[in-house]
Amino acid sequence: MELLDSLQTYNWSGIYRLEGDTLVLDEYVGAATDHTQIPVGRGVCGTAVAEDRNQVIEDVRELTNYLACSTLTRSEIVVLIKKGAVTLGQIDIDGHSVGAFDASDESLLSKVAAVLADRW
C-alpha cells in the first residue's frame, strides 16, 4: 500500500477483504476512516462487489450513494481481488482531484490484485 500511495494521484490506498456480505478494512495508508466495515451494495466499494466489476469514478460528488472518507476526496478507483470467480476483496484508492484515475490505473491495479489473489 505504501508503494501505491507514493504514486502521484493516489492520496489514500487500502485493501478491503470480503467477509460474507461485508467489506472489512485491512491494510491502508492515509488518513484514518470511519468506514472500516462496508456492506455489499453500499458506496463505491460495496457497489463494486454487488455488480462484480471494478469502479472508476471521475467525480464522487456526482454519486448518490457515496461514502465520504475525506472531504478532500474527488475521485475513486476500486479494483476487485478475485481468485477465479470468487471475490476475496478489493483495492480502494482515493484521489484529491477530479478524474485522477483512468484505464491505465485500472490495468496497473488489476495486475497488483492478481498478485495479491495468488498470495491470499
Provide the whole-model pTM. 0.93
- Specify whether the CB–CB gap between 25 and 37 falls below 8 A: yes
What CATH number does the domain located at 2-119 have? 3.30.450.40
Residue type, 2: E
CA–CA separation, 120 vs 117, rounded Å? Answer: 5
Render each residue's pLDDT in the chain as its tens digit; 120 residues.
Answer: 889 989 989 999 999 999 999 999 999 999 999 999 999 999 999 999 999 999 999 998 887 777 767 777 899 999 999 999 999 999 999 999 999 999 999 999 999 999 999 999
94, 96, 99, 102: CA torsion to nearest 10: -40
